[in-house]
């Protein structure tokens, strides 16, 4: 037991010293990667700032605008769910869900999710025309 404890302590000390060396080498590693000069570090910082601005003012607006256009297009041709048909192989439930009355799934939507043996709970209202 004492020799195993000694081995574990020795490994822990070696890992701690390796982590200290790694932490102290990180800033010099950045300097070495950028050429080692002070101007290269400044150039890298400016370049990083440029990419940050480009992402913030270029990518984010593109994502927002494209999301709005796709949502609008999707709502223009949104169709009602298909007519409910009772098939034996669909919606087989051997156990009730542990919440509510046990028949509704966790993200149940009464317009689009039929209940076995019942069908849709409410009539599909559709989306309002623009």
Read off the pLDDT of residues 9-55 as tens digits, 9 standing for 90 and up.
888 888 888 777 776 665 555 555 555 566 777 888 888 888 888 88
Could you tell me the pTM of the whole model? 0.36
Which position has the token pair 């574990």?
Answer: 8
Q: Which of 27-31, 69-73, 90-94 has the lowest mean pLDDT?
A: 27-31
Per the CB < 8 A criterion, the answer to whether 130 and 119 are in contact is no
Is 130's pLDDT higher than 50? no
The H-assigned helical ranges of the chain are: 2-33, 38-54, 60-76
Task: Quote the CATH superfamily of domain 95-125.
Answer: Cytochrome c oxidase, subunit VIa (4.10.95.10)
Share of the chain above pLDDT 70, in %: 82
CA angle 36, 38, 43 (to 5 degrees): 95
Q: What is the pLDDT of residue 103?
A: 84
């Amino acid at each position: 037991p004492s020799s195993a404890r000694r081995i574990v302590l020795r490994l822990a000390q070696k890992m701690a010293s390796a982590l200290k060396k790694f932490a102290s080498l990180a800033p010099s590693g950045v300097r070495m990667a950028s050429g080692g000069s002070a101007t290269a570090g400044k150039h890298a910082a400016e370049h990083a700032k440029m990419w940050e601005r480009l992402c913030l003012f270029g990518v984010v607006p593109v994502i927002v605008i494209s999301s709005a256009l796709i949502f609008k297009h999707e709502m223009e041709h949104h169709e009602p769910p298909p007519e409910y048909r009772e098939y034996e192989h669909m919606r087989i439930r051997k156990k009730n869900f542990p919440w509510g009355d046990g028949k509704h799934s966790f993200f149940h939507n009464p317009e689009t999710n039929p209940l076995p043996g019942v069908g849709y709970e409410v009539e599909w209202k559709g989306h309002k025309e623009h």
